[in-house]
């Protein structure tokens, strides 16, 4: 099953006999709170207009657990809570799911990764997000029939801190954050700047074209090959700040035909533990 879907394909499938469940995951990382300004309100944006039939899910409260000491800023949600939210949105295992966000792709990819990791067989990201949708929008909030999806943790695909450190030594661990955060030049969110020793800088922003859509699969494959990806199972991992933009890199890798694991705790978890080593500068070590 493809990992992405175009706006025209979504419009066609939504008009068919078995339309997909569509989930709106609008969210953005904002430093506005630190400056005293209100943070982005994804639900308010959804209510102003969304893809017809789409149901809103909140990344911070439904696709992540409570942040706490040693857990990172967007830890995994409790599976019972995640399942309840997904079923309330109409998600069932025997029905396709399409997720989208405002266009950045990070939040939609987090939903895609969670659904895939917990066993949903058919979930795709709207390539380019809402910005790519040229059909009508609606403001009505739908009340879908409850779904039946029961999420179960996947046997593979998830890294913890020790697993990420090991993969940085034995395989390829990609850091999806901006290069300046990887180098430690600046760190606007977490305790300290830098990267996991051995990790390779691979900003996820470089996986998209100017129109916000993912680059073609062949281009992505070439990029990841140049960074050291061999395609061998279990040999590629990704982390970011808190397991959101990293999910977008996992998505790009999937489009390129490369399976990758996600360190959900990411830098927010790693850097919070002062006993863990921190590397700075452009060199992985």
Catalytic residues: 240
d(CA 82, CA 14): 25
Q: Can you say whether the dihedral through the CA atoms of 251, 51, 58, 60 is positive or negative?
A: positive
Two tokens, residue 219: 């281009």
| E strands present in 138-280 | 158-159, 172-175, 200-201, 236-239, 261-263
Q: Are strands 200-201 and 172-175 parallel, antiparallel or unpaired?
A: parallel
| Burial (0-12, 13-18, 19+ Cβ within 10 Å), 79 | middle
Q: Are strands 123-126 and 97-100 parallel, antiparallel or unpaired?
A: parallel
| E strands present in 168-222 | 172-175, 200-201
Alpha-carbon radius of gyration of the chain: 18
Indicate the SS3 state at residue 169. Answer: helix
d(CA 162, CA 188): 25
d(CA 143, CA 115): 21
**Block residue for tokens 């046997």:** 155
């Amino acid at each position: 099953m493809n990992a992405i879907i175009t706006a025209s394909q979504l419009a066609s499938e939504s008009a068919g006999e078995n339309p997909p469940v569509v989930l709106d995951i609008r969210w953005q990382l904002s430093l506005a709170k630190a400056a005293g300004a209100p943070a982005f309100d994804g639900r308010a944006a959804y209510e102003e207009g969304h893809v017809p039939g789409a149901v809103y899910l909140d990344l911070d409260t439904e696709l992540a657990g409570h942040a706490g000491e040693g857990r990172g800023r967007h830890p995994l949600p409790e599976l019972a809570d995640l399942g309840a939210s997904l079923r309330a949105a109409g998600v069932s295992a025997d029905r396709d799911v399409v997720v989208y966000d405002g266009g950045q792709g990070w939040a939609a990819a987090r939903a895609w990764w969670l659904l895939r990791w917990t066993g949903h067989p058919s979930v795709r990201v709207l390539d380019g997000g809402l910005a790519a949708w040229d059909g009508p929008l609606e403001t009505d909030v739908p009340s879908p029939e409850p779904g039946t999806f029961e999420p179960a943790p996947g046997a593979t695909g998830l890294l913890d801190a020790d697993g990420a450190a090991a993969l940085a030594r034995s395989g390829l661990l990609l850091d999806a954050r901006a290069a300046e955060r990887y180098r430690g030049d600046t760190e606007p969110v977490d305790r300290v700047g830098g990267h996991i020793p051995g990790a390779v800088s691979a900003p996820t922003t470089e996986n998209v074209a100017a129109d916000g859509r993912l680059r073609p699969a062949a281009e992505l494959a070439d990029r990841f090959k140049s960074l050291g990806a061999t395609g061998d199972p279990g040999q590629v991992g990704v982390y970011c700040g808190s397991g959101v933009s990293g999910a977008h890199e996992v998505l790009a890798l999937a489009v390129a035909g490369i399976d990758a694991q996600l360190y959900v705790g990411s830098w927010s978890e790693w850097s919070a533990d002062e006993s863990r080593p921190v590397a700075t500068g452009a060199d992985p070590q």
